[in-house]
Every structure is written in C-alpha cells, then in structure tokens.
C-alpha cells in the first residue's frame, strides 16, 4: 500500500469535515434525498408519506414488524393463505394497507446504518422521473411503441457518451435489465464479432477461442458465460490480480500471447472499473494498447472486444472535470487525493469498446436502470438476427431501432426516465457532493479502524465506497500487518492456513455476536486473496465490509459502530 495514503488516513486534519463542504452536503441532501413534499409533490400522496414517516422512526430491522400499526396481523396475512379474491375492491382514495406495509417494511435503504452492499436509496428526482416513466409505460423495444421515450433514451446515451469522451454520433447504447445484462452484451458483442457463425450454429462449430476476464470480476461474468454456452472451465482464462486486486498486466500479456501464437481467437476481454467489494479500478489504456500491439504483431483480423464492467465505478465520471487544485467543494485532503487517483483511471474509459453503467447503484436511481454504452454503433450489426424473425414489426421501421440486435423484446423505460431526472436535477455538482460525502465517510471509517490497532484494512489505496477489513484477537496478534502477510502465504504453509482459519473464525464469531449496531456491515468470503502458489492457485480470504453509498450515513453511525468494536 502507498505510504502517502496511509499517513493521510492517520492525519486528523486531512480527514476533517470542512464546514463549507458540510453546507453543500446539507443542501444537496435536503434537495435530493429528504422526500420533502414541498420540493417533490409526489411525496404528498398519503401512502408515500406513510412509508417515509414509518422509516423516519429508524427502527432496527428486528423491531419493524411489531413497530408497524397492525404489523403482526398484516404479516400473518401476507405469509398466510394466498387465494385470489373473487370480488372487486372499489378504490377508497386511501392508501392500501398491504401495499404500504410491504413497501414500508422492504429493506430500509434510507436508514443511515444501511451500508451492506452496493445498494442505495434512490434520489427524490429519480423517483419522480421513474414514476413518470411508469405511468407513460413506453416500450423501448421498438420506436413506434416508445414514442418520445425513444428520444429520451438516446438523449441520456449522448449525455454519457459526450461526458466520457465517446463520439456522440458514432456511439450508441441501450438501457437493459441490470448490470449483468450489460456485461452479457459485452461478451456477446465480442462473440458475434469474432465468431460470426455462432449466431446460427451455436458454439460447437466455431474456431478455437478463449474469453478473457479477471479473477477480480463480478460473479455475473461466469453466469453470463455459462449462459452463452461458453465452456467456463476450458475456454475462459481468468487473469491474475495484483495485491490491489486490479488486473495483472504481465499475466494478461502472457495469456494473450499464448492464445495468439496458436491462432486462438480472443472474442472479449472483460475488465472492471470498481470491483464490488474492493473497488479495484483496472487501468484501461494499457489493456487497449496491449491489444493494439499484439493484434498488429500476430496479424489478428478481428480485435478482441474490450468491455469495461463499470457497474459500480462509473459514477466517478462526475469528477472528470473537477478542479482538483482549487477544490471548490472543499473536499477533505485524504478524499480529494483518493478521488484524483481514481479519476486518472476513469479518464481512460473512452478506450473501452463498451461499458456497463448501473444507475441503480451509485447513481441513486430506482431499479432497474442499467445502461450498456457502445463506442461504435456498427458493432450492433454483428448482433443482428435475421429480419424475417421479426414479422411482428413493420419492415421499414425495424432498421431505425436496435430491435434486431437486442437480447430482450420488451424493454421498460422507467430507468431512462429516472436516470434523466437524477442527472438533470443533481447535475454534475450534486453528484460530486453526494459521492464525496460517501467517500469522506469511507475514509473516516478507515481512519477510525486504523486507530483500533487490531484491524487490517483491505486495499485502502483503492479509494472507493467499500471498506473491507479483518479484525484480530488482540490476545493472539499484536502486529496485524505481519499476521496478514503470513496468512497470505497460506497456500504454501499449512500452519499459516490453520492460522488464517482460526483468525477468520474468531472474527466471524465477533461479527455474529456483535449484532447490527451503528453500521449494518456484512460478511464476505472473498475480501482478499492469498498469495499465488507456484501453480497460480490461491485461496479466498474472508472478512467484513461496509459500503458507503448511503447519503444519509454520517460520522455518528461510524462512531457508534467503532466504539462497539472496542467494547
Ligand atoms: C452489481 C455488479 C454487477 C451486476 O449488476 P446487476 O445490476 O446487479 O445485475 C456487475 N458487475 C459489478 C462490478 C457489480 O458490482
């Protein structure tokens, strides 16, 4: 880990809350996350207001059913008999009891302690926009069924394209069902371009190929490949990751050369901008340059499609034009340095052939609102199915949409409306304020954990919203760095493997006993990895994590959690 990052984390002044920043934050929170009916009249609706009021009580998860009016009875009804009612129910103009109950008692992402994963409460404007989209109900499958929503989708795509440095005329994109589907498109684009016969004949008859992704990638990588009929054991190469969990360029080059030397095709290279648990941001330009260089050297006719899974990390594009010298938002020093480090990599997004954007994660838009961005719209041609399959639709209009190239038929537009509204109202600056607030929380949490002494922070140099850590029994361990370094050698030392198991078990027990206090942290089996053994094998290292994407979380919750760790 870089020493400058560590020393900044331990420096109180670098971690302080600047009063100017706090003013911006309070204003942004009041405008975009407070469910204020004066600002957003949709929250005047009695059912919506009731949901919000219940949640404002901030009950802990186990108190919620009993704390809800008539909660036990409603719960019993919900889990009980489920026959359809024969009779009609006339609208009374009053909120529906069961709908309000189920909504209010859905997982409360507005609770300031909710930091379990990359999930958030949506922003007020995004809820407003999504509701408009739900009411209009356009279908993006086909322009005639979408009407003006088709233009709204294209508008949002051009906004993102322009902002990241894609040519807005040459690029395209589409809203689809989750980040998993965006990555599915990434893989499919590569397969269709490199192995064009597969569209009709499947994967049996194609020339030899390997898909390349990273060991740090999201699990959807593997579910997608399996779905596509790719042999994930024999035809997929998972590249090693560095100690910071980003892709290992030496291993990547070695593997690509091994493929190209024997004329084995590489349809897709999938890398990650912000891994889910450790926020590793792969550098994109070096992968792009390597691809260009090797394709030239080996005379590869169809270049591997380079897809960047930016499901979590894309939000950092809002800092691309931030003035880091002047720091107009008064972001604290440690966080400013962290953002600057990340943004240097995010700037390379324009080298990706396509990338995944999850508005429903760090973009504060309701589910599901995922966008796959595609640099070269001609790539969509490779996905086109036979026009005669589309006999439902008028021939002349088909070419104007992605109809023949999409995996889905019906595509909802709720995500488009939500994303447009969130970006319109929050603007680049609103996002900067909220994201910086989250990242300042993450760094404050890191700094407080470091002070405890019996905590090993996972990759604090990855300056994202996720904070992973391992807690050690102070009676057994006095130097957590040395202990962790030994644990990392577990693949070549049985005693260290036993030590890793014992420490993990202890931490897990403490985690279970503690209950959820202050921050609702989570346990993950793969917060880090061991060193590789000589055969490239490694072991998962488990740990605890908190993900600071919640705009409502503040230092109060962090302090409560940390003092509980001490007691
Ligand atoms: C969440 C996530 C995905 C999957 O996205 P969904 O929207 O949940 O389908 C893919 N990659 C990364 C890095 C993610 O964090």
**Residues 463, 559: one domain?**
yes
**Residues 101, 198: one domain?**
no
Domain end marker among 310, 343, 372: 310
In a domain, 280, yes or no: yes
CB atoms under 10 Å from CB of 567, counted, come to: 6
User: Ligand 1, closest atom to CA 180?
Assistant: 9
Domain end marker among 310, 345, 378: 310
Q: Indicate the top mutation candidate among 214, 276, 365 to test ligand 1's pocket, ranked by most ligand atoms within 8 A of CB.
A: 276
User: Ligand 1, closest atom to CA 360?
Assistant: 7
Please list the rounded mean pLDDT of every run of 10 residues in the chain (567 residues): 79 95 98 98 95 93 94 97 94 94 96 96 98 97 93 98 98 97 98 96 94 95 95 97 96 98 98 95 98 98 98 98 98 98 98 98 97 97 82 65 87 98 98 98 97 96 97 96 97 96 97 93 95 95 98 98 89
Whether residue 486 contacts residue 499, with contact meaning beta carbons closer than 8 Å, is answered with yes
Domain end marker among 291, 310, 329: 310
In eight-state DSSP terms, residue 347 is: G
Q: Indicate the top mutation candidate among 309, 354, 367, 368 to test ligand 1's pocket, ranked by most ligand atoms within 8 A of CB.
A: 309
Could you tell me which residues come within 8 angstroms of residue 127 by beta carbon, excluding any fewer than 6 positions away?
40, 42, 366, 418
The pLDDT of residue 95: 94
Whether residue 433 contacts residue 24, with contact meaning beta carbons closer than 8 Å, is answered with yes
What Å distances lie between residue 414 and 42, 120, 401, CA to CA?
16, 17, 18
Separation between Cα atoms, residue 538 and residue 228, nearest integer Å? 27
Strands annotated E in 204-284: 211-214, 236-239, 268-272
Q: Indicate the top mutation candidate among 220, 275, 308, 370 to test ligand 1's pocket, ranked by most ligand atoms within 8 A of CB.
A: 220
The pLDDT of residue 338: 97
Separation between Cα atoms, residue 464 and residue 155, nearest integer Å? 29
**Residues 102, 189: one domain?**
no
Ligand 1 centre distance from Cα of residue 85 (Å): 38
- In this prediction the pTM is 0.96
In a domain, 446, yes or no: no
The pLDDT of residue 396: 65
Q: Indicate the top mutation candidate among 181, 218, 368 to test ligand 1's pocket, ranked by most ligand atoms within 8 A of CB.
A: 218
Ligand 1 centre distance from Cα of residue 308 (Å): 12
**Residues 102, 209: one domain?**
no
Ligand 1 centre distance from Cα of residue 118 (Å): 9
**Residues 304, 198: one domain?**
yes
In a domain, 204, yes or no: yes
Q: Indicate the top mutation candidate among 118, 119, 179 to test ligand 1's pocket, ranked by most ligand atoms within 8 A of CB.
A: 179
In a domain, 207, yes or no: yes
**Residues 294, 192: one domain?**
yes
In a domain, 466, yes or no: yes
Whether residue 307 contacts residue 355, with contact meaning beta carbons closer than 8 Å, is answered with yes
In eight-state DSSP terms, residue 17 is: P
Ligand 1 centre distance from Cα of residue 83 (Å): 36
In a domain, 193, yes or no: yes
Q: What residues make up the domain containing 70?
A: 37-77+97-106
**Residues 101, 201: one domain?**
no
In a domain, 401, yes or no: no
Ligand 1 centre distance from Cα of residue 179 (Å): 5
**Residues 462, 549: one domain?**
yes
Domain harbouring 287, CATH code: 3.40.640.10
What Å distances lie between residue 138 and 22, 135, 148, CA to CA?
40, 9, 9
Whether residue 159 contacts residue 423, with contact meaning beta carbons closer than 8 Å, is answered with yes
In eight-state DSSP terms, residue 456 is: E
Ligand 1 centre distance from Cα of residue 219 (Å): 8
Counting the structural domains of the chain, the total is: 3
The pLDDT of residue 1: 46
Ligand 1 centre distance from Cα of residue 397 (Å): 33
Separation between Cα atoms, residue 149 and residue 151, nearest integer Å? 5
The token pair that represents 225 in the structure block: 């490949």
In eight-state DSSP terms, residue 321 is: T
**Residues 102, 187: one domain?**
no
Ligand 1 centre distance from Cα of residue 216 (Å): 13
**Residues 459, 550: one domain?**
yes
In the structure, which protein residues have their CB atom closer than 6 angstroms to any atom of ligand 1? 118, 178-180, 183, 218, 220, 272, 275-276, 309, 311-312, 358, 370
**Residues 102, 194: one domain?**
no
**Residues 101, 203: one domain?**
no
Ligand 1 centre distance from Cα of residue 176 (Å): 13
In a domain, 209, yes or no: yes
């Amino acid at each position: 880990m870089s020493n400058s990052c560590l020393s900044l984390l331990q420096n109180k002044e670098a971690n302080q809350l600047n009063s100017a920043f706090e003013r911006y934050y309070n204003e942004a929170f009041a405008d975009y996350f407070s469910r204020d009916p004066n600002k957003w009249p949709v929250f005047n609706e009695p059912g919506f207001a009731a949901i919000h009021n219940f949640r404002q009580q901030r009950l802990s998860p186990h108190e919620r059913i009993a704390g809800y009016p008539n909660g036990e009875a409603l719960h019993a009804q919900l889990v009980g008999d489920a026959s359809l009612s024969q009779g009609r129910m006339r609208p009374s103009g009053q909120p529906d009891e069961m709908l309000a109950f189920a909504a209010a008692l859905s997982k409360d992402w507005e609770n300031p302690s909710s930091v379990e994963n990359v999930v958030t409460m949506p922003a007020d404007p995004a809820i407003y926009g999504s509701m408009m989209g739900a009411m209009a109900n356009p279908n993006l499958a086909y322009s005639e069924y979408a009407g003006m929503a088709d233009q709204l989708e294209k508008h949002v795509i051009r906004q993102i394209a322009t902002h990241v440095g894609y040519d807005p005329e040459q690029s395209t994109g589409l809203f689809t069902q989750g980040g998993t589907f965006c990555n599915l498109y990434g893989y499919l684009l590569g397969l269709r371009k490199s192995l064009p016969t597969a569209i009709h004949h499947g994967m049996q008859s194609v020339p030899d190929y390997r898909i390349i992704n990273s060991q740090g990638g999201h699990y959807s990588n593997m579910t997608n490949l399996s779905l596509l009929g790719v042999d994930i054991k024999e035809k997929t190469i998972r590249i090693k990751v560095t100690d910071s969990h980003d892709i290992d360029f030496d291993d990547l080059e070695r593997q690509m050369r091994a493929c190209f030397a024997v004329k084995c095709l590489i349809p897709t290279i999938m890398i990650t901008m912000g891994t889910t648990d450790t926020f590793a941001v792969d550098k994109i330009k070096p992968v792009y340059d390597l691809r260009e260089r090797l394709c030239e050297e080996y005379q590869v006719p169809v270049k591997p499609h380079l897809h960047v899974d930016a499901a979590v990390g894309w939000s950092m594009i809002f800092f691309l034009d931030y003035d880091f010298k002047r720091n107009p938002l008064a972001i604290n020093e440690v966080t400013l340095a962290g953002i600057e480090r990340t943004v240097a990599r995010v700037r390379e997004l324009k080298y990706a052939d396509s990338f995944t954007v999850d508005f429903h994660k760090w973009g504060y838009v309701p589910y599901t609102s995922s966008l796959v961005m595609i640099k070269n719209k001609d790539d969509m041609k490779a996905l086109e199915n036979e026009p005669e399959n589309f006999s439902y639709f008028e021939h002349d209009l088909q070419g104007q949409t992605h109809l023949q190239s999409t995996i889905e038929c019906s595509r909802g537009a709720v995500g488009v409306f939500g994303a447009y509204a969130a970006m319109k109202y929050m603007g680049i600056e609103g996002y900067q304020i909220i994201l910086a607030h989250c990242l300042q929380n993450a760094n404050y949490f890191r700094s407080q954990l470091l002070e405890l002494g019996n905590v090993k922070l996972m990759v604090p140099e990855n300056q994202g919203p996720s904070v992973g850590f391992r807690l050690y029994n102070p009676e057994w361990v006095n130097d957590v760095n040395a202990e962790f370094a030994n644990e990392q050698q577990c693949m070549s030392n049985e005693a260290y493997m036993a030590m890793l198991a014992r420490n993990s078990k202890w931490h897990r027990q403490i985690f279970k006993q503690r209950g959820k206090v202050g921050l609702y942290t989570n346990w993950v089996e793969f917060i880090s990895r061991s060193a590789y053994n000589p055969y490239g094998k490694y072991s998962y290292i488990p740990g605890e994590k908190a993900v600071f994407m919640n705009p409502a979380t503040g230092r109060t919750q962090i302090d409560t959690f940390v003092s509980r760790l001490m007691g």
